[in-house]
Amino acid sequence: MFGISFFQSVLQRLRDEQDAEMLGEATGGPGTVIGTTSGFVPETSSGTAATYTTVQRAYCELTPTESPAPFAIPDFLKRISLAEVASELALGEAETALTLAARRRRFAAANHPDRLPAEARLNATLRMKLANMLIDEAFRRIKKPSMPK
């Protein structure tokens, strides 16, 4: 294998293994990876595979028997009017692009529908839409220079 590239040596090894398989010389049985050293992949006998019923029984033993308590929508997710979301955001006149982005991230961390159970997603989606609308409007006011009178 000296004097040839690594890629060529891999190709040569694959050819040798293919030739050995065609001649019936492959010694690998179930659980054996041909072409690796014994320290790379552990060899297992064919009897060590778990049966379906064994796996099913183990799964059932680990599954909780009591159902979890139903999700109760928190009070803050029940506030879905524009005025309530605006008061929660508490946007002021001195907001900058950085503070608005921080407020959006903070609000999304608590209200994003992907982070909440299915029962709360409708309210969370509505709250996120309102908050994004309010923050986007605040961004537009920042970017729009005020005209002198």
Q: What are 95-113's pLDDT values in tens digits?
A: 999 999 999 999 999 999 9
Q: Residue range 114-137: average pLDDT?
A: 95
Which pLDDT band holds residue 44 (cuts at 50, 70, 90)? Answer: low
User: For residue 130, what pLDDT is reported?
Assistant: 97
Residue whose C-alpha is closest to residue 92's, from 76, 103, 82: 103
Assess if residue 131 is contained within a domain.
yes
Average pLDDT for residues 78-103, to the nearest whole number? Answer: 94
Give mean pLDDT, residues 41-53: 62
**Interatomic CA distance for residues 122 and 13, integer angstroms:** 59
The number of folded domains in the chain is: 1
- C-alpha torsion sign, points 121, 126, 131, 133: positive
CA distance 146 to 149: 9
Q: Would you call 56 helix, strand, or coil by DSSP? A: helix
46 belongs to a structural domain:
no
> Is a pLDDT exceeding 80 seen at residue 48?
no
For the chain, the C-alpha Rg in angstroms (whole number) is 32
Inside any domain, residue 111: yes
Could you tell me if residue 92 is inside a domain?
Answer: yes
As a whole number, mean pLDDT of residues 115-134 equals 95
Looking at residues 36-47, what average pLDDT do you find?
54
Structural domain that includes position 106: 75-143
40 in a structural domain: no
**Spatial distance between the Cα atoms of 83 and 89, rounded to a whole number of angstroms:** 10
Give 122's pLDDT tier (boundaries 50, 70, 90): very high
Q: Is there a domain that residue 42 lies in?
A: no
Question: For the chain, what is the mean pLDDT?
Answer: 81
Of 65, 72, 63, 78, give the one whose Cα is nearest residue 117: 72
pLDDT one-digit tens code per residue, 17-29: 888 777 765 455 5
Residue 134, domain member (yes or no):
yes
- How many CB atoms are closer than 10 A to CB 89? 19
Of 119, 90, 83, whose CA–CA distance to 107 is shortest? 90
**pLDDT mean over 68-87:** 90
pLDDT at 75: 93
Residue with tokens 């982070």: 115
